[in-house]
Amino acid sequence: MIELAVIGGGPAGLIAAREAARAGASVIVFEEHMEIGEPERCAGLLSLSGLKRLGFSVSGKYLQNVIRGAVIKTSNGRWRILDAGRPVAAVVSRSIFDKEAAKQAEHAGAEIVCGVRVKAVKRDGGEFRITASDSIRQSLWVIDAEGAGAALLRRFIGAGTEPRKWIPIIQLIVENHGLDKRFVYIYLKDYLPDLFAYLIPIDESLGKLGVASRSPDLKKLLIRFLGEEFPDVLCLNSSSHVIYTGSPLDSTILFPSRLVPVGDAAGHVKATTGGGVIMGGLIAARIASAIAASLKGGSPERPLAEARKLIKELRRMAYLRRLIGRMNSPLLEILIAIATSKIGNSYLSRKGDMDFQISSILGSRF
């Protein structure tokens, strides 16, 4: 009998596995792909503070570039700059980052099995019966970290994240972008109302370029964007996936059921940007600590309270995203102009936090 089964070997599942194993629980992680971190479908823009909070080095082998700010091209063609004046974020290779997370989880004692898909989870008395592609296992707790789609979770609890808030996205690895590698580039386009397009430099030439839209013509929109902004780049690689811009599930409510969703499966993503690695990882770590405490007969309340606070922060970002979505272009232009003004830049560089966007702006410490 396993104490904790984790479905999904992405960052949320692996960080949860690491925390539970460190606290003494017996943990197994099921990953359907043959290799952790593959296929890579992420821009890998992670705050340096978030990496530290998650217990990852800011100079690990996964590091590709260091970022100090963002350049925003608004829909009327104006360029605005947010410059922290110091390094604030890392661009990482998600493939190598996830492998490092797996190494940490294994080092803590977790078992990771790759190439094994969990097909069904059923409650069987006081435990769970997990039907995987290679075997049937029993476990006392389950963490569902299966990522976007979360088919098992929907089958199990009959609910999930907001379906319309998952935006299809195509990401390209491009060569010859010709931009300053110290900044990320955000493009607001009237024909891309669901999310901004981006270019995240890996170096002076290579970059990750993403275009997201619910339109069935996403490929055409990508070609239009490339023609307008990057006519000279060479495309080396392309991947398609979805990115979440909705409200998070409150996993702590599901804690008593002993099957708890984390990461993208629970919509633990910053709805303002679609970034889910840091906040998803922080919440997953708290949920895992709460499970480990329960297994030892202790109180899970403290880590659960911390998880609740993190989820509240995400909920407020989802609210901000909805507000932004309702703004007309002129109003958005004004807000961006204020944020990128001298005073705005100075305030954000002192107080801003990429992950705790709302509490840092409101000045409430997390």
Q: Verify binding: residue 221, ligand FAD, rule CB under 6 A.
A: no
Closest CB 189 distance from ligand FAD, rounded Å = 17
Task: Map the footprint of ligand FAD across residues 128-167, applying CB under 6 A.
Answer: 145-148, 152
Question: Which residue, 245 or 294, is less far from ligand FAD as judged by CB?
Answer: 245
Q: Verify binding: residue 69, ligand FAD, rule CB under 6 A.
A: no
Q: Verify binding: residue 303, ligand FAD, rule CB under 6 A.
A: no
**Structure-token pair, residue 64:** 């590709």
Question: Which residue, 35 or 333, is less far from ligand FAD as judged by CB?
Answer: 35
Closest to 105 in 3D by CA, of 12, 235, 240:
12
Residue from 117, 129, 308, 322 that binds ligand FAD (CB under 6 A)? 117
Contact of 167 with 245, CB cutoff 8 Å: yes
The CA distance from 244 to 273, in Å, is: 9
The CA distance from 74 to 327, in Å, is: 14
Could you tell me which stretch among 26-34, 59-67, 220-228, 289-297 binds ligand FAD (CB under 6 A)?
26-34
Question: Which residue, 222 or 269, is less far from ligand FAD as judged by CB?
Answer: 269
Could you tell me which stretch among 25-33, 247-255, 301-309, 343-351 binds ligand FAD (CB under 6 A)?
25-33
Contact of 252 with 308, CB cutoff 8 Å: yes
Q: For ligand FAD, what does the binding mask look like between residues 27 and 66, x meaning CB under 6 A?
A: ---xxxx-------xxxxxx--------------------
Contact of 262 with 142, CB cutoff 8 Å: no
The CA distance from 192 to 274, in Å, is: 15
Question: Which residue, 30 or 350, is less far from ligand FAD as judged by CB?
Answer: 30
Closest to 318 in 3D by CA, of 266, 365, 253:
266
Contact of 63 with 97, CB cutoff 8 Å: no
